Amino acid sequence: MSELRKDPISGRWVIIATERSKRPDDFRPARGVGEAPASAGFCPFCRGNEGKTPPEVFALRDDGTPADSPGWRVRVVPNKFPALNRGTQASLHTRGGIFEWMEGVGVHEVIIENPEHGQELADLPVGHVRDILGVFAQRIKTIEEELHYQYVQVFKNKGKEAGASLSHPHTQIVATPIVPKRIEEEIYGARRLFRSFKKCVFCRIIREERESGERVVHLNRHFVVIAPYASRFPFEVTIFPLRHSPFFADLNEEELGSLALTLKTTLIKLKETLSDPAYNLVLHKSPNPVLARKRWPDIDRHYHWHFEIFPILTKVAGFEWGTGYYINPVPPETAAGFLRKK
Amino acid sequence: MKKILVVEDEKTLCLLYAEELGKEGYAVTAAYDADAALAELKKKSFDLIITDIRMPGKNGVELIAQIMGLRKDIPIIINSAYQSYKEDFMTWAADAYVVKSSSLDELKTKIKELIGR
């Protein structure tokens, strides 16, 4: 069983594996481990290997095909060896002093995006991307029914430099009993600026970016893709919905289709501009709506969900770790210019 | 008698597993690296494989991928001191992941769950 420990100064939570490693040399990088095997000869996510995953919790599959057999288009399975385990409500404990901890309770699921090993999100038909995004919404809604999960994080690591251990396209979902610090910081910032502007700050950013256009990568009826003004990384992009909403799972059918097209377009632009880079994609959304509205009664008005995509082109090193500043060698205006042309 | 192949580069651990699992009624064959394990698998049949991950030569994850090419039906237990290999989804080809500890109870329980006594 793992536990969550809170750094008393920064308020940052860390998942600590309490089953400890035996020897320091276990932490040496192991050849082969952690790499995305392109031709390992076996992949537990491929069609026909359904028996090697835990039983599916959700799948889009052909009519009449039984669970955990071929015939699926998108398949969701719990993590076989999760960092956090499902459980009852996690409670905050102390060790008698200032150190706080919680049980490592959570949900860890893997969304296998398609049965083909080599077909990445950018390569799939728009309709299939829409199906995957619909599954994100379905899983978020289902997990948020359990109120002890305060936040549901959807993220994708594509390529070994982005942290993927397997090249078969997949997205992960981790639900935690606390709101992550990064999300809390965004909510606090958005609340503060909502009080100043009397309007959602994300909506204001979208308006100003559309007016200037210099950092806009793509725009359609429902979504805008921008290279953020203070991008931390080269070619970082954010996808914002034009309709204000803190809740990703509130997307209607038309918006879902439009998001699929927007996401695919963005990923193709990144792929063609940067020669198929590794990337991380993260969804930032409101915490569990029931809990969020209790804690931040005006969250419906001040928070605005979005996707962030970070191509892995540089490494976070000592200066960034030490200061929290990032050095970005590509101005977002330049990045947006290149991406617009593709 | 159920036959278990233990793949582990620490020879003392192999001896300990042979002794402890032998007491439980299992026949244990030890292989000190992945190539030796693959050679054993081609010679004999086994009911279960227990493998370490960090070994000289091929690591345990590479070994598992190769075993899947030969025999998908043999249950596999990963037995590593390092639990972060769980982040590697190739480990899903195994049926259980037991972090090495000072007690063999969890390992014995998993073996019983997978193949009985």
A151 and A218 part of one domain: no
E-strand ranges in chain A read 2-6, 13-17, 58-61, 72-78, 92-94, 100-103, 107-112, 151-158, 170-176, 216-219, 223-226, 237-241, 279-284, 306-311
Q: What is the pLDDT of residue B107?
A: 94
Q: What is the pLDDT of residue A8?
A: 86
A162 and A270 part of one domain: no
A7 and A85 part of one domain: yes
Question: Could you tell me if residue A27 is inside a domain?
Answer: no
The total of structural domains in chain A comes to: 2
Render pLDDT for A1-16 as a digit per residue (tens, 0 to 9).
678 888 888 888 888 8
Model confidence at B103, pLDDT cuts 50, 70, 90, reads confident
A202 and A305 part of one domain: yes
The CATH number of the domain holding residue A313 is 3.30.428.10
| Percent with pLDDT over 70 in chain B | 99
A117 and A140 part of one domain: yes
Contact between chains at B82 and A26 (C-beta distance less than 8 A): yes
Q: Where are the domains of chain B?
A: 3-102
Report yes or no: A29 at the B interface, CB cutoff 8 Å: no
Contact between chains at B89 and A34 (C-beta distance less than 8 A): no
Domain boundary residue, one of A134, A149, A176: A176
| Separation in Å, CA of A5 to nearest CA in chain B | 18
| C-alpha to C-alpha distances, B32 to A30, A163, B51, B62, nearest whole angstrom | 17, 30, 10, 15
| C-alpha to C-alpha distances, A255 to A225, A294, B19, nearest whole angstrom | 15, 28, 63
- Mean pLDDT over residues B40-67, rounded? 94
| Residue numbers in A near B65 (CB within 8 A) | 37, 40-42
Q: Give the chain B residue whose CA is nearest to the CA of A48.
A: B72
Render pLDDT for B59-71 as a digit per residue (tens, 0 to 9).
999 999 999 988 8
Average pLDDT, chain A: 91
The highest-level CATH class for domain B3-102 is alpha beta
**Quick one: residue A70, left, alpha or beta (phi over 0 = left, psi -120 to 50 = alpha)?**
beta
Say if residue A186 is exposed, middle or buried (CB neighbours under 10 Å; 0-12, 13-18, 19+): middle
Whether A203 has a pLDDT exceeding 80, the answer reads yes
Render pLDDT for A237-276 as a digit per residue (tens, 0 to 9).
999 999 999 999 999 999 999 999 999 999 999 999 999 9
- Mean pLDDT over residues A130-138, rounded? 98
Contact between chains at A81 and B97 (C-beta distance less than 8 A): yes
A75 and A163 part of one domain: yes
Contact between chains at A81 and B86 (C-beta distance less than 8 A): yes
Joined together, the tokens standing for residue A333 give 């205006």
Question: Helices marked H in B28-72 — which ranges?
Answer: 34-43, 60-70
Q: What is the pLDDT of residue A140?
A: 97
Domain boundary residue, one of A176, A191, A213: A176
| C-alpha to C-alpha distances, B78 to A285, B14, B53, B92, nearest whole angstrom | 36, 14, 7, 10
Q: Strands across the sheet with B76-80, in order?
A: B27-31, B3-7, B48-51, B76-80, B96-99
| Separation in Å, CA of B24 to nearest CA in chain A | 25
Q: What is the pLDDT of residue A68?
A: 97
A122 and A55 part of one domain: yes
Whether A157 has a pLDDT exceeding 80, the answer reads yes
Report yes or no: A53 at the B interface, CB cutoff 8 Å: yes
Question: Could you tell me if residue A30 is inside a domain?
Answer: no
| Percent with pLDDT over 90 in chain A | 73
Q: What is the pLDDT of residue A25?
A: 53
Domain boundary residue, one of A161, A176, A191: A176
State yes or no: ipTM above 0.90.
no
| Percent with pLDDT over 90 in chain B | 81
Q: Give the chain A residue whose CA is nearest to the CA of B64.
A: A42
Contact between chains at A30 and B59 (C-beta distance less than 8 A): yes
- Mean pLDDT over residues A54-83, rounded? 95
Whether A18 has a pLDDT exceeding 70, the answer reads no
Q: Which of A33, A41, A166 sits opposite B66 (nearest CB)?
A: A41
Contact between chains at B65 and A42 (C-beta distance less than 8 A): yes
Model confidence at B100, pLDDT cuts 50, 70, 90, reads confident
Which of these ranges, A259-263, A319-323, A336-340, B41-45, has the smallest mean pLDDT?
A: A319-323
| Residue numbers in A near B91 (CB within 8 A) | 80-81
CA distance A10 to B19: 49
Catalytic residue among A108, A168, A170, A306: A170
A41 and A185 part of one domain: no
A124 and A252 part of one domain: no
Report yes or no: A36 at the B interface, CB cutoff 8 Å: no
A241 and A100 part of one domain: no
Angle between helices A253-274 and A126-144 (to 10 degrees): 120
Contact between chains at B90 and A37 (C-beta distance less than 8 A): yes
Question: Could you tell me if residue A302 is inside a domain?
Answer: yes
Question: Could you tell me if residue A98 is inside a domain?
Answer: yes
A147 and A225 part of one domain: no
Whether A23 has a pLDDT exceeding 60, the answer reads no
Q: What is the pLDDT of residue A57?
A: 97
Q: Which of B93, B99, B100 sits opposite A42 (nearest CB)?
A: B93
| Residue numbers in A near B99 (CB within 8 A) | 19
Q: Give the chain A residue whose CA is nearest to the CA of B60.
A: A33
CA distance B115 to B77: 11
- By residue range, what is the domain housing residue A220? 181-341
Which of these ranges, A26-35, A51-60, A314-323, B42-51, has the smallest mean pLDDT?
A: A26-35
Reply yes or no on whether A93 is catalytic. Answer: no
- Mean pLDDT over residues A157-175, rounded? 93
Q: What is the pLDDT of residue A19?
A: 54
Q: Give the chain B residue whose CA is nearest to the CA of A164.
A: B88
Amino acid at A25: D
| Residue numbers in B near A159 (CB within 8 A) | none
Render pLDDT for B14-26 as a digit per residue (tens, 0 to 9).
999 999 999 999 9
Render pLDDT for A290-318 as a digit per residue (tens, 0 to 9).
999 999 999 999 999 999 999 999 988 89
Contact between chains at B91 and A80 (C-beta distance less than 8 A): yes
Render pLDDT for A31-52 as a digit per residue (tens, 0 to 9).
444 444 444 578 999 999 999 9
| Separation in Å, CA of A200 to nearest CA in chain B | 38
A120 and A79 part of one domain: yes
Q: Give the chain A residue whose CA is nearest to the CA of B82.
A: A21
Question: Could you tell me if residue A29 is inside a domain?
Answer: no
Contact between chains at B59 and A19 (C-beta distance less than 8 A): no
